[in-house]
Structure 1
Amino acid sequence: MKIFGIDVIRGSVRSRSRRPAYALITMEKGTVTSESEVSLYRLQRRLAAEEPDILAVDSLQEVAADQHDLFTFIQALPPGTRLVQVTGGERKETLQKVAARYNISVSKTDPYAEARAAAFIASSGGGAEVIAFENSCDIVVSRHRSIGKGGWSQNRYTRKIHGAVLRQGREVESALSDAGLKYEKKEYPAFGGASRVQFRVFASRDMVPVRSSRGTDVQVRISGRRLDRIRFKPLSGKPRYLIAGIDPGTTIGIAAVDLDGNLMHLISSRQMTMSDVIEELYRVGKPLIVASDVHQMPFSVEKIRRAFNAVAYTPRQDRSIEEKWELTKAYGTSNDHERDALSAALDAYRQYRNKFQNISKRVPPGIDLDEVRAGVIRGKSLELILGSREEAVLPASPAVPETEMPPSPVDERVMELDGLVKRLRGYIDDLSADGKKKDEEIERLTRLCTRLKSEDEGRMRRDVEVVRRDAIIRSQKNMLRKAEKRSKKLHRQVSRLKRFADLQMNGDHIPVKVLDSLTRDAVRSLDEDLGINEGDIIAAAKTDGWGRSVLEFLHSAKIRVIITGTGEKQVHDGQLLLACSELELPCIPAAGLDLRIRGRTGTVPRVRLEEALLRWESDFEAYRREKKTEMLESIFREYRSEREREVRRHG
């Protein structure tokens, strides 16, 4: 199998000034045969000339700027070449993470290393094939040059071209019939033959015995029928190994993590049967380990484990709620059942994590770590697993007959070495005697340490329970203080809401929500206390520190109006008025409104507010007309300057 692995060195397919340059790695039968730097045009020429089985990339954005370009790129590939994204399909991962699964280290700054890793992963069956076309294609036989206006020989020239199109169409039809392919044909008769012959073949491009070509008079184009959207098909049909945690009961919780500890699936349901649980896990992958959060595995979990022939894991003792929270605090769980299932899966992964890390250090690069881990978990030795894989990959080498070496004559050098060996053996005996004495001393000191340790453990056992209960008391006190603070805050908020609701009952006055300042923190605080809803009237005591993001938030909340300058120092900000006018957000001064404020709420007379809003609308219409006038004048000035430049250019 020939595989091309590529990665961008510089440039981008989206750039018009810097076209991309790729690091190209060619691999045959698991061995890298060449490394080179190619442009996109040169890459397509190499693909057409060598027709590799796989083109491996870590991201489709390296070869196509958008979906239309991706269809065009795949259409230009040889029929037998598959485009493979090694980082996955719909759910992508980083190249470094995928490479680590095959025990390959990749440098982010080395394009050749990334291209080499992509080729290795694709050769090992990793990644997903990009599917862009249906299992059918179109063949179009047409004229390659125009018949033109012509002269005395136009009729002969036209008959020649149309006859060539008709002959080529019959040759294509004959090739499709000989291959036993189902097709539909449509001819467009013309003077002397046919101007166009179309075939719809119900087979993929690699099965069609015809290739795109261009001749003097005739051209043949083959194009696949595009899918509505790009699909991804795993290059290897093997499911991923999982560690599944299950919490049985009326509501069953299911959690699945991969062998690297990444959460793959988390769900809970009251309506799932045993077969539904097995089907749900099959959709995610293949459970290698089925875990429970209690020491005695429940019978229903044991049945699921047997269905997958998985390894069972249970803790030495039932896990407490505190331990489960500690395990799952980095993840979001919807209920206790999901928490228990996830804690069981993570506890099993934590138990095997050191063994997995040790395996990754001993496995050579390019081998699927998950397969090796699965074999070790099931009881096989690492040497046996690696040996069986090497026997499957490497061909058996021919046996070499052993040749007997002639006896070498004994010389003086050998006798000297024999004497040296005897002296060293005597020295070893002396060291062994010293070692025995030291072992006796170590044993005496060990007995002394054991006696002292037992005395200390007796004192510690008496204090452990006291320390544990003190910790529980401190935790409960902290929780109580937090609950009291929250209760006081909610009481204050309820009283403010009641007061605001009473204000809404007055028909002559309209309730107002008051901001300390027109800042993001003040708006957030008001939203948490009283809420900012559609049609609210907001009054700001100070406008210092206002920002456009605050105005955009209030505009998106669809408030009715902003009243500014309600404090002692009433300053009307022109920039604020301009920003509000651009957002079509009413902004009026507090002067003359008879605004009454009490804490975070207040009231304003309905009549005066409506009069102020009418004045603002009048000013806003004038502002809008002024902006339109400025825009027309700007367009006119630009047009006039352009005309002047054209006059100067053409004289």
Structure 2
Amino acid sequence: MSSDKIVGIDIIRSGSDLSQFRYAMVFLEGEVLKAVKEVSFGGLIRELWEIKPDVLATDNVLELGGSKKDLLRVIKMLPPSITLVQVNVESGKPVKIQYLAEKAGLVSDKSKLDPFKTALVVAYLAREGYGSKLRVFEDKVKIYVYPGRSGIAGGSRTEKYVRNLRAIVTRHVRKIKEVLDKNNIDYDLMVRKSDGGIEKALFTVYTPRERLHGLIKQVKGKDVVVKIKPVLNKSFLSNIIELRKSDERRYLIIGYDPGVNVGLAVLDLDMNLVYVTSGRELDRGDIHNLLIKLGRPVLVATDKNPPPEMCRKLAASLGALLYVPQKSLSTAEKEVAVSEFIKRHPSIDVKNTHERDALAAALKAYGEFQEKLDKLSYKLREMGFYDVNLQKYKVKVLMNEDLSSIIEEVINDYVREERKESTVVLKSDVTAQAPKVEEVLRERVSVLEREKEFYKQRVLELENVVRELSSRLDTVTSELNERILKDRKVSELMQRVRNLEARLRILENENSVLKSKTINHENLFMKLYAGTHVLVPVYNDKCLKFLRHDREEVLVAFTYNVTEALKDARGLVESARLGFLLPPTALGLSKHLIEEELIPAVSAEEVFEVNECLVVADKNSFVRVIALVPQLSEERRKKKYGLTYEDINALIEEYRKSREF
């Protein structure tokens, strides 16, 4: 650590909030003392980002924030690459900084260290390798991608505008995915899709933040935001819930329902529910850390076929098998499976559909092996193996090993354990102890004979009980089958109700839109009836049928793009047959077209869209277009030939008179 950048700090003054804190700060770079200064809290954070030290050393981590709550806020402000070191720790126990300073030969007297000396001492101690490193950030990064704006543009182009934003988000997501794949960086991707592309996306990238430097950049634009956040190490938080230590004797089947909201259910090989949970921020790394504390995962199960990619990745990271059903489980199948399991275990609480789907997947996987697992348990109990760890051997059933070979392995393991515990007896001792052994064996045989008679009588009694219970079981099974059919029907009806409710909400939204359009159309009809507005066709390829070219009067059409319209309609314009209405925002363009190009194109005062082929415009603008058509046609002719209609008529009249003479 001798060539690293190290910052040592000690608190000078605290306060009721972080803005009142003052610190003594020392900056070491290798052997060189670069700076000794007093800084405020804001100054400390700024200095750390400017220096970007490898190590931030202190004798009390809480001095950074004053409290555990504020400490979390401070840690989030630190550069992600920084390593936090509390130097006054030896063998996991706190020691006095004065003692360490004397031990390292940094001070010779026993006078109390002031804050500046303390900051210098902790920096040198950290450089020499004293203390305990605190892992602030995990080797994990969250990358959020979402639109930069709300997508509310107004008018009839809102949907197109929103689709454009989603297309931009989709391009950024694809680009980030390509970069991660190209650099062989492990990640999970969760997206929310809508019409037109991806609405938002979350990458969980399993690598330190520094590795992404130069590969992926944060973006904060008008159209898209890409936010990169390193993940705090949860073991660093004081309020984390400690789970019990991994039970190596317990083997686990994991039901996993990935997505934005994750569902997780854990069964052991005795079909006991070990754990069930769900949540939005439950990524693959969190799940991996949780599961290895609960036991040894051997099977990851999904309710979908084909299985989601995240299920494959979780199974691979755990070194477990992946169970995939022959076909995806229906909602009714999952409801029935979970309901029956809860009836046998009433204390279980499944809160939502994500937990239900995860538990159903685990139960389905267990059901595939249940018959062989039960048969193995029965055989071993029958042979008297009550004190062996059955889960250890049940795992082999999941690996499709033969039951006979598993039972033989149990016997061999049992013999080896017995051999370890037995006392080694010398041959000479065997000869001396033979009579005693024979007596013990005869006594044991006598006891076993009595037990044999007892158990024969007991078997007869139990056979009678079994026959009675078998009869009762047939009756109960018949009743239960009827109830299951009813439950399935209820579940299907509930799903139909949910579907109908969703359809109703869609229809209500459509009704609201239609109602709004009806009101708008009523207002337009009133304007048309009052004569203050007129219907005007839109000039485009789809709507040319509304332009009647056979009529002799002047035609008026509306267009958003007059340049495109003139490519097809310039002949009609120059023959004084057609004029254009433009949007109210095109006032400058209208003036240019009339004055410079002699094109009759007037910016309307009001325009309301009826559909893609018709608009309603104010009558004043309409009349002005009609008036401009012949006027500008005359101007064009005069500009081209130097004569007006009146001049031409006068020449013709003069010619006629000359002919009469």
Tell me the TM-score range normalised by the shorter chain: 0.3 to 0.5
Normalising to structure 2: TM-score of the pair?
Answer: 0.32
Larger Rg: 2
Normalising to structure 1: TM-score of the pair?
Answer: 0.32
Structure showing the higher helix proportion among its residues: 2
